[in-house]
């Protein structure tokens, strides 16, 4: 018998109430690394396989004592004795066979089809990699032990003998097990695909967590450098706070990685096990495994509305300088959350008025993006002013707010980041796409002439642009930097794309203002999902997109006056903002976890901060767009 966590022969087995059995040391380790609840005690042990809780009798005792009190299933213990005594032959010679992860109330114990099943009464030297059971041999009925199980009730999802059919399932849709094998195999193939999807999600979680660890280290070094540069007195205390916070985040992510790696191994075992069963075992064993995984699938379907994707979202530390009434500086460290943290709340950080002296009319901001740099200024905000036919860069340098304007030939629409401090802007009425360098002032680099009036604009790869025009044939065009169309990509029901966003997975989000949904497609034009096609969450006027560090999608609904958050697969997560938004359009996120939303002539900047480690009096500089005394200039 093998433990589903360590994949080795089970030592000192412990069986949970769901009938899953593990090594006690493995279960203790798993339980120890799980996140603690707010309560000081643990009232239950959650199964690593099916997540069902097992109540403990001594919740006030350490985890090790709770696990040690668990007893093994008697049939599993007997099987373990068989393994250790050599009845199963050389177990170590079959390490390549993955251990199954069976559901509760399954007759397969913890090692698959060779445990307490009636097929396993003759347990001599059994090769675990290939079934030794006659494919046409049927087990005996559990209720009528003198009769073989040869039929299957489709409605009740249970194997039957002839007597069961005539007494308890008269009138049910009953079929022979032999004829049901294709259905069993098809169902298991579906389960196998679902497990592959879970494996990919888990791998992505692990990759993202490791990336976050690198970001934490880099962030801590950057903040400590800022502290040493800005403070005249000894910065020792604040640097210690940074180290303490970083270490806590680092340890939390390590625990998360360990749990995800364990989960990945379980999925991997399930996947290999299903495929081994389908190709090597008898029809009866396939039937039993089908029943087992069907039970697990039904349990998972009960929570089908819960988004499956999850990736860790660490907080960030930001060094800020504060100005008091006398003009003196004080300092503080802030802990900033990310919108990806689905429990966080958006708080207005500050407002930036985008009027400039060159304006003839009140600005009408269509889009916004933010470019970060290592020097000063740290952050440059760029807005497309539709009514004044201009592109504006706004930034803070030496504690002063600067606004610079670049006049365009006509009204701009969407901004796309290219590389470093370079951006591209669509100018549809002039049939142009202009490229601009931020120095930090906007400087025109080139003008790309196009044959179509392109509104929506994104940069999917270096030296390529993705553009959408008015009343196209349900597609967007992939362009080179000379404006030539390389290929057209299907956009499903979206005829005239207004905004485009490229996700981290290189999928394309396309929205249209007068269509009450948006679409996600691959680079080959395969439609991944519509959001939403029907229902109460139908959009009113979708506008700008943004994607978070964990792959979530943010979307502005102009007429509903809100920002919504979805998973990467298009499942609704929450309304991020529902108040204080008058005709929002553009949307972007910066590297400090701030969210920018255009509202007419201004940009509102929102933070997800809820903790200040070391306090100070005065107004916040934050190293980015900031104006002393008043947030509007």
Q: Which residues pair with 340 in a beta bridge?
A: none
pTM over the 0.75 mark? no
Predicted confidence at residue 7, as pLDDT, reads: 62
Look at residues 5, 1, 61 and name the one whose alpha carbon lies nearest to residue 30.
5
Say how many residues make up the chain.
Answer: 633
CATH fold of 130-310? Helix Hairpins (1.10.287)
Three-state DSSP at 457 gives: strand
Tell me the C-alpha distance between 126 and 528, whole Å.
46
Contact 108, 102 (CB under 8 A): yes
Q: Are 369 and 597 in contact (CB under 8 A)?
A: no
| 316-620: in CATH 2.120.10.30 | yes
Residue 90: how many other CB atoms lie within 10 Å:
9
Distance, in Å, from the CA atom of 384 to the CA atom of 368, rounded to the nearest integer, reads 7
Q: What is the CA radius of gyration of the chain?
A: 30
Q: CB burial class (10 A; 0-12, 13-18, 19+) of residue 326?
A: exposed
Q: Phi and psi dihedrals of 426, rounded to 5? A: -85, 140
CA-angle at 549, arms to 548 and 555, nearest 5°: 5
Helices then strands, each counted (H, E), the chain: 7, 35
Question: Cβ(454)–Cβ(433) under 8 Å?
Answer: yes
Write down the architecture of domain 1-128 according to CATH: 2-Layer Sandwich (3.30)
**In this structure, what token pair is assigned to residue 350?**
């500050």
Cα 3 from Cα 100, distance rounded (Å): 9
Q: SS3 of 322, please?
A: strand
Beta bridge pairs of residue 55:
44
User: In the chain, what are the domain boundaries?
Assistant: 1-128, 130-310, 316-620
Question: What pLDDT does residue 289 have?
Answer: 60
Query: Is residue 508 within 8 Å of 520, Cβ to Cβ?
Result: yes
Residue that the structure tokens 């979680």 belong to: 205
CA distance 430 to 450: 9
Stated as kind and residue range, the H or E segment containing 293 is helix 283-301
Helix (H, G, I), strand (E, B) or coil at 193: helix
Query: In DSSP terms, which residues pair with 174 in a beta bridge?
Result: 153
Which of 333, 157, 379, 343 minimizes the C-alpha distance to 241? 333
Strand order in the sheet with 619-620: 609-614, 329-336, 316-323, 619-620
The parts of the chain modelled with pLDDT lower than 50 are 37-41, 74-136, 295-308, 611-633
Q: What pLDDT score does 287 carry?
A: 60
Q: How far apart are CA 281 and CA 275, in angstroms?
A: 10
Residue 583 · residue 561 · CB < 8 Å: yes
Kindly provide the b/e burial profile for residues 197-235, where b requires at least 16 CB atoms within 10 angstroms of the residue's own CB. Answer: ebbebbebbbebbeebbeebeebbebbbebbeeebeeeb
Helix, strand and coil content of the chain, in percent to the nearest 5, comes to 25, 30, 45
CA distance 585 to 274: 49
What is the enclosing helix (H) or strand (E) of 349? strand 347-353
- Residue 474's φ and ψ, nearest 5 degrees, are 50, 55
φ and ψ of 343, to 5 deg: -95, -5
Q: SS3 sequence, 225-277?
A: HHHHHHCCCCCHHHHHHHHHHHHHHHHHHHHHHHHHHHHHHHHHHHHHHHHHH
Cα-Cα-Cα-Cα dihedral sign, residues 270, 273, 274, 275: positive
Q: Which element (helix H / strand E) includes 163?
A: helix 162-167
Three-state secondary structure call for residue 94? helix
| Beta partners for residue 381, in sequence order | 370, 394
Token code pair at residue 402: 């600067």
Tracing tokens 């290939």 back to the chain, one arrives at: 130
CA distance linking residue 405 with residue 388, whole number of Å = 10
Contacts of 545 (CB under 8 A, 6+ apart): 499, 500, 501, 509, 511, 518, 553, 554, 555, 556, 587
Instruction: Kindly write down the DSSP assignment for every residue of 530-593, as one continuous string.
Output: EE-SSSTT--SSEEEEEE-TTS-EEEEETTTTEEEEE-TTS-EEEEEE-SS-SSEEEEEE-TTS
Quick check: 383 and 392 in contact, CB under 8 A? yes
- CB 390, CB 413: distance < 8 Å: no
Please report, for residues 24, 59, 258, 496, 575, the alpha-carbon distance to residue 45 in angstroms, rounded to integers and kept in the order given: 12, 10, 18, 53, 34
């Amino acid at each position: 018998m093998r433990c589903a966590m360590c994949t080795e022969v089970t030592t000192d087995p412990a069986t949970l109430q769901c009938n899953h059995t593990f090594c006690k040391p493995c279960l203790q380790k798993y339980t120890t690394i799980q996140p603690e609840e707010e309560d000081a005690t643990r009232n239950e042990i959650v199964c690593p396989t099916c997540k069902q809780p097992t109540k403990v009798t001594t919740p006030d005792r350490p985890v090790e004592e709770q696990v040690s009190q668990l007893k093994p299933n008697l049939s599993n213990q007997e099987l373990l004795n068989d393994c250790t005594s050599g009845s199963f032959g050389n177990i170590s010679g079959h390490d390549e066979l993955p251990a199954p992860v069976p559901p509760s109330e399954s007759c397969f114990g913890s090692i698959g089809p060779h445990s307490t099943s009636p097929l396993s009464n003759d347990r001599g030297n059994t090769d675990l990699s290939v079934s030794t059971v006659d494919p046409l041999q049927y087990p005996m009925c559990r209720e009528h032990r003198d009769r073989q199980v040869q039929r299957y009730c489709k409605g009740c999802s249970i194997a039957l003998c002839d007597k069961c059919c005539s007494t308890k399932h008269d009138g049910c849709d009953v079929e022979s097990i032999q004829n049901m094998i294709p259905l069993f195999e098809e169902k298991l193939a579906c389960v196998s695909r679902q497990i592959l999807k879970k494996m990919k999600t888990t791998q992505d979680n692990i990759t993202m967590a490791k990336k976050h660890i690198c970001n934490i280290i880099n962030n801590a070094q950057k903040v400590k450098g800022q502290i040493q540069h800005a403070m005249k007195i000894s910065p020792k205390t604040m640097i210690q706070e940074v180290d303490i916070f970083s270490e806590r985040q680092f340890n939390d992510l390590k625990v998360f990685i360990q749990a995800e790696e364990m989960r990945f191994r379980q999925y991997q075992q399930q996947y290999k096990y299903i495929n081994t069963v389908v190709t090597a075992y008898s029809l009866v064993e396939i039937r039993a495994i089908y029943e087992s995984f069907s039970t697990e699938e039904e349990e998972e379907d009960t929570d089908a509305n819960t988004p499956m994707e999850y990736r860790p979202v660490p907080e960030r530390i930001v060094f800020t300088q504060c100005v008091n009434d006398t003009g003196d500086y004080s300092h503080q460290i802030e802990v900033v959350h990310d919108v990806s943290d689905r429990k966080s709340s958006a708080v207005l950080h500050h407002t930036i008025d985008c009027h400039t002296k060159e304006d003839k009319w009140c600005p009408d901001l269509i889009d916004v993006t933010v470019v970060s740099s290592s020097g000063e200024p740290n952050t440059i905000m760029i807005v497309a002013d539709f009514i004044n036919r201009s592109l504006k860069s706004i930034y803070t340098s030496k504690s002063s707010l600067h606004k610079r304007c670049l006049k365009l030939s006509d009204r701009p629409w969407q901004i796309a980041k290219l590389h470093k401090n370079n951006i591209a802007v669509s100018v549809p009425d002039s049939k142009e796409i202009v490229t601009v360098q931020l120095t930090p002032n906007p400087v025109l680099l080139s003008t790309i002439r196009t044959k179509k009036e392109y509104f929506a604009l994104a940069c999917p790869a270096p030296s390529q642009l993705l553009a959408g025009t008015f009343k196209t044939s349900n597609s967007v065009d992939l362009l080179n930097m000379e404006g030539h169309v390389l290929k057209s990509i299907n956009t499903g029901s979206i005829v005239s794309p207004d905004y485009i966003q490229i996700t981290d997975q290189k999928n394309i989000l396309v929205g249209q203002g007068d269509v009450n949904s948006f679409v996600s497609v691959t680079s080959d034009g395969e439609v991944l999902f519509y959001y939403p096609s029907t229902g109460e969450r139908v959009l009113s006027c979708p506008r700008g997109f943004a994607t978070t560090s964990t792959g979530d999608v943010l979307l502005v609904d102009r007429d509903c006056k809100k920002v919504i958050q979805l998973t990467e697969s298009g499942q609704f997560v929450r309304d991020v903002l529902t108040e204080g938004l008058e005709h929002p359009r553009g949307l972007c996120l910066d590297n400090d976890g701030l969210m920018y939303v255009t509202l007419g002539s201004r940009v509102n900047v929102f933070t997800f901060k809820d903790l200040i480690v070391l306090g100070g009096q005065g107004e916040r500089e934050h190293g980015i767009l900031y104006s002393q005394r008043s947030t509007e200039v």
